[in-house]
Amino acid sequence: TWDLVKSGIERDVGANNFATWIKPLQFRSLDDRTLSLASPTDFIGRWVVQNFSDIILRHVDAAGIRASRVICTAGAAPVAESAPASPVRSRTEDGLDPRFTFDSFVVGKSNELAHAAARRVGEGGPVSFNPLFLHGGVGLGKTHLMQAIAWQLRERDPGCRVLFLSAEQFMYRFVQALREQSTMSFKEMFRSVDVLLVDDVQFIAGKESTQEEFFHTFNALVDNGKQVVISADRSPSDISDVQERITSRLHSGLVVDLHPADYELRLGILMHRYEQCREEAPDFILADGVIEFLAGRINTSIRVLESVMTRLFHYWGLVRREIRVEQLPDVLGDLLRASERKLTIDEIMKKVCDHYSLRMSDMTSARRSRSVARPRQMAMYLAKKLTPRSYPEIGRKFGGKDHTTVLYAVRKIEELIQSDPQLAEDAQLLQRRLES
Ligand code: ADP
Ligand code: MG
């Protein structure tokens, strides 16, 4: 019944509103004339209650259900996970995640080409490259960009037939069509779209008949001037077990890779998520330095950055107090450890020496002339900041110095970062190099 009600609402609110706000809602209960729904976030829940209560109640009423109030709180499963958990869910295809839009996509050096190409496709109209092939490691934003294209195309032209699905879903549907002997309508369906977006195409490696069908679909669309967008976790030529003629066709458009996020982009994404959280709860406060610390430490996938912010937000919900840097290991322990790249003190010394044209022996020596002492202090500072080593451990590494020497060095550099722009720049540059 709820699905019926939903489709009724869709006619009233339009496809975009529907996809963003109504579609993700799940039915919870109906008690005492109160219709309780689950939304992906509290924010969406509040928005729905404020803006769509009347419409929802009207349609509920039309379906013969008596309700006078709508409540809606977080708890619904995300509409579309990038990696479909079960093929059953893939069947209710078209699930675009309302969060994955261009608006919420933070652009940085590592993804600007991919973003620009995706935007171009999202504008609709003829595009000079076809297909667009996006590739890059897990959690770098491929699915996000593809769905953003779909959202934008739909928004510009609701009549545009955009189909987004994972290669796994493609295969699932194909196999089902074979089983039900409905391959004709399968082919028709896929060949009648204006834009086809297929996510995680590496999945079809080794699956001969799916590959074959995919290849035909792909060719039919491209030959008819329909745009195709494909993503994979590696480049076309690195996908093994896919026929050569297919990979070379995949290569024939624009191939762009997404790189791991650098420090600035990580900072940007964290800030963006932080703002979003604060929109939901203006009292949510992270102490100075928390975001910078996280951007420095978490250098695996963007997905981890997001879970970190979500975790902090939930934690804050419990304690309702500003969260400080010292608390992060406690709150985030596992997440921090997971993305710990084992940066060694030797690497740090090496980079610092390169930067200031010194020799490694200068790091461990006792020379006090500033041209040597300052860089050494910088290296100690970076060692403290970027590794989990203690002051005494760092001291030992630097030619057996006392832990107070290290402590002093760290304080000194922290102080100078405030007052000496050149040094502050050096520190930033070095940190970035060490973390990339
Ligand atoms: P992939 O498909 O490449 O594995 P996703 O697109 O699923 O990665 O991205 C993982 C998570 O990180 C998603 O929640 C996505 O919204 C987020 N994300 C990735 N890149 C960005 C970005 N540039 N700006 C904002 N969020 C991003
Ligand atoms: Mg993905």
3-state SS class at 61: helix
SS3 content of the chain, % helix, strand, coil (to 5): 60, 10, 30
Whether the complex's predicted ipTM is more than 0.95 is answered with: yes
For residue 136, the ligand 1 atom closest to its alpha carbon is: 3
Query: Do residues 379 and 323 share a domain?
Result: no
Q: Give how far Cα 260 sits from Cα of 105, 241, 298, 349, 435, Å.
A: 15, 26, 11, 24, 11
Query: Do residues 122 and 252 share a domain?
Result: yes
For residue 305, the ligand 1 atom closest to its alpha carbon is: 12
Q: Which of 26, 46, 74 is the last residue of a domain?
A: 74
Query: Do residues 69 and 120 share a domain?
Result: no
- CB contact at 8 A, 127 and 155: no
Q: Which domain holds residue 363?
A: 345-435
Could you tell me how many helices (H) and strands (E) the chain has, helices first?
Answer: 19, 8
In a domain, 80, yes or no: no
In a domain, 220, yes or no: yes
Query: Do residues 170 and 243 share a domain?
Result: yes
For residue 145, the ligand 1 atom closest to its alpha carbon is: 6
143 is in an annotated binding site: yes
Query: Do residues 16 and 105 share a domain?
Result: no
333 is in an annotated binding site: no
Query: Do residues 92 and 231 share a domain?
Result: yes
Q: How far is CA 266 from the centre of its chain?
A: 10
Task: Kindly give the confidence (pLDDT) of every residue in the chain, 436 residues in length, as a single tens digit, with 9 standing for 90 and above.
Answer: 888 888 888 888 877 678 777 888 888 888 888 899 988 777 678 878 888 888 899 988 888 888 889 998 877 665 443 333 333 333 234 678 888 999 999 999 999 999 999 999 999 888 889 999 999 988 899 999 999 999 999 999 988 899 999 999 999 999 999 999 999 999 998 989 999 999 999 998 888 899 999 999 999 999 999 999 999 998 888 887 788 888 888 888 999 999 889 888 999 999 999 999 999 899 999 999 899 999 988 877 898 898 899 889 988 887 888 999 988 888 887 778 766 666 789 999 999 999 999 999 999 998 889 999 999 999 999 998 888 788 889 999 999 999 999 999 999 999 999 999 999 999 999 988 887 6
Query: Do residues 190 and 96 share a domain?
Result: yes
CATH assignment at residue 402 = 1.10.1750.10
Q: Which two tokens stand for residue 150?
A: 């779909």
Q: Which two tokens stand for residue 63?
A: 């379906």
Reported as a single tens digit per residue, the pLDDT across 242-289 is 888 888 888 889 999 998 898 889 999 999 999 999 998 999 999 998
Q: Which two tokens stand for residue 290?
A: 């928390």
Query: Do residues 51 and 196 share a domain?
Result: no
In a domain, 79, yes or no: no
Query: Do residues 95 and 119 share a domain?
Result: yes
Query: Do residues 302 and 365 share a domain?
Result: no
Say if residue 131 is preceded by a cis peptide, omega within 30 of 0.
yes
Determine how many CB atoms are found less than 10 A away from the CB of residue 184: 9
| 303 CA → ligand 1 middle, Å | 6
For residue 146, the ligand 1 atom closest to its alpha carbon is: 6
Q: Give how far Cα 247 sits from Cα of 66, 216, 261, Å.
A: 57, 13, 27
| 141 CA → ligand 1 middle, Å | 3
Largest CA-CA distance found in the chain, in angstroms, rounded: 86
Q: Which residues line ligand 1 (CB under 6 A)?
A: 82, 100, 104-106, 111, 136, 138-144, 269, 302-303, 306
In a domain, 121, yes or no: yes
Q: Which of 277, 305, 338 is the last residue of a domain?
A: 338
- CB contact at 8 A, 299 and 267: no
Pairs from 170-174 (Cβ < 8 Å, separation ≥ 24) = 170/198, 170/204, 170/210, 170/214, 171/203, 171/204, 171/207, 171/210, 172/87, 172/90, 172/91, 173/90, 173/91, 173/93, 174/209, 174/210, 174/213
Give how many domains the chain has, as a whole number.
4
Amino acid identity at 141: G
Query: Do residues 309 and 372 share a domain?
Result: no
Query: Do residues 234 and 102 share a domain?
Result: yes
Amino acid identity at 265: L
268 is in an annotated binding site: no
| 189 CA → ligand 2 middle, Å | 24
CATH assignment at residue 313 = 1.10.8.60
Q: Which two tokens stand for residue 71?
A: 């409540």
Query: Which is nearest to 394 in space by CA: 352, 348, 361, 426?
Result: 348
- β-strand pairing of 26-31 with 195-199: unpaired
217 is in an annotated binding site: no
| 84 CA → ligand 2 middle, Å | 9
| 91 CA → ligand 2 middle, Å | 18
